[in-house]
Amino acid sequence: MKKMRVLCFGSLNYDHVYDVDHFVKPEETLKSRGYKLNYGGKGLNQSIACHKAGLDVYHAGAIGNDGEALRSYLSKHNINCDYILNKEEPTGHAIIQVANGQNNIIIYQGANACIDHSDIKEVLSHFWANDLLLIQNEVSNLSELIHEAHARHMRIVLNLAPMDQSAKDYPLEKVDTLIVNEIEAMELVEASEDIDDILSRLKEQFYDQEVIMTVGEKGSYHLYQGECFHVDAYDTDVVDTTAAGDTFIGYYLAMRERFSIVEAMRIASLASSMTCQKSGAAQSIPECDEVLSSYYLLKTKNLVSLTDHDVTWKQGPFKKIPVFYDNTKEWTYQFYKHHLLDEDYKLHYEMIKDKEIESLSVNEALTMITYYIREERTHTGVMAHALQEGVLHQLDQLIRG
């Protein structure tokens, strides 16, 4: 089976970003405290996010004669740009106001609105059933794009943003995964502002489709075949939320290939929160190693609890040693099950127990962690060293193959 490719058929925009005290009011002229020109569009942002999260990304879309900088930007990020088309219309752009960490956006579609039937046929002819089509509501002829991709048995992921009345006429029944925020979902299913009402209507109208609803600082919901679960957002100091949703989508799709749905949602949520810590659009999206390192650190903190057991490590006693919960012990079981360390772990431990923690190799650190897990305790110094060396990440990758 060929490796899945992600075709992001989406918008390419220049983002004109204005730093303001408050969003401009009707008939008000407002001075900006600052201005930046960024590369964006939900399509471009999601392509960057998917690539940084580890997916093989192709971008399709349209630019005007003034848009070559956007093509170059994607190319520099090793995203395939063979299907970016040149049109007579100017490149799309957005006017973005940023105030107190929040934003509002006005979009001019430009070349993004010039995608026609022949463009869709030509681009999709290069993709097949194992590929994923990622689309947003910022390019023209979206219904035809969905029909054509469905006919080619591609997996279709639709981020229904921005939401407008035309979206209700799309063949949404052919979409595999629908991603919306709270406001978009409320308008789509004609619900009240009550979260339970929105979720109930989403379950009913999209029962056999995967639906993800993001709710900002309140986290996100995952719905499929009547089941629903919630994932909390991560606390962060918000600077700019511009590409937060796009980051969530890119990381969710990538992590879904490697982790459970719940963990993919959590990692996507963390990546999104990290994006909010920086200003800008695509340039604020974090690298995968940075996200996973932070995730494993947070996960490890959540896995341990304190006990009053004493244990002696080299010359000194340690009190209140952290103990792993059962899900981490399961890692150790899988570690042995996959023959990654033989059963003579105590013998290995005796051979390395007098080494300085900092001098332990990756395998030695794994041995030491395994020993302490098996003995119902672990050592904070070993854990710190293991985290620094990425040992837990390596262990998780080994277990998941």
As annotated, the active-site residues are: 246
360 assigned binding-site residue: no
15 assigned binding-site residue: yes
Q: How many residues belong to the chain?
A: 401
54 assigned binding-site residue: no
287 assigned binding-site residue: no
284 assigned binding-site residue: yes
CB atoms within 10 A of CB 258: 16
300 assigned binding-site residue: no
381 assigned binding-site residue: no
92 assigned binding-site residue: no
45 assigned binding-site residue: yes
275 assigned binding-site residue: yes
Structure-block tokens of residue 220: 């996100």
110 assigned binding-site residue: no
Tell me if 218 sits within 8 A of 240, measured CB to CB: no
Q: Which of 245, 225, 338, 228 is nearest to 285 (CA)?
A: 245
164 assigned binding-site residue: no
Cα gap 242→193, rounded to integer Å? 23
Assign 375 to helix, strand or coil. Answer: coil
Cα gap 381→314, rounded to integer Å? 12
Point out which residues pair with 304 in neighbouring strands: 324
221 assigned binding-site residue: no
| DSSP assigned state of 166 | G
42 assigned binding-site residue: yes
14 assigned binding-site residue: yes
How many angstroms separate the Cα of 214 from the Cα of each of 98, 127, 140, 222, 246?
20, 29, 25, 9, 11
How many angstroms separate the Cα of 14 from the Cα of each of 37, 57, 81, 258?
7, 21, 17, 33
Tell me if 304 sits within 8 A of 329, measured CB to CB: no
DSSP 64-103: -TT-HHHHHHHHHTT-EEEEEEE-SSPPEEEEEEEETTEE
Cα gap 41→10, rounded to integer Å? 8
181 assigned binding-site residue: yes
How many angstroms separate the Cα of 378 from the Cα of each of 106, 235, 311, 340, 383?
54, 28, 9, 19, 8
280 assigned binding-site residue: yes
| Alpha helices (H) in 228-308, listed in sequence order | 244-255, 261-275, 288-303
240 assigned binding-site residue: yes
Whole-angstrom Cα Rg for the chain = 24
140 assigned binding-site residue: no
Question: Rounded to 10 degrees, what is the CA torsion of 186, 187, 188, 191?
Answer: 50
Binding residues for substrate: 13-15, 41-45, 138, 246
Binding residues for ATP: 181, 214-219, 245-246
Binding residues: 13-15, 41-45, 138, 181, 214-219, 240, 242, 245-246, 275, 278, 280, 284
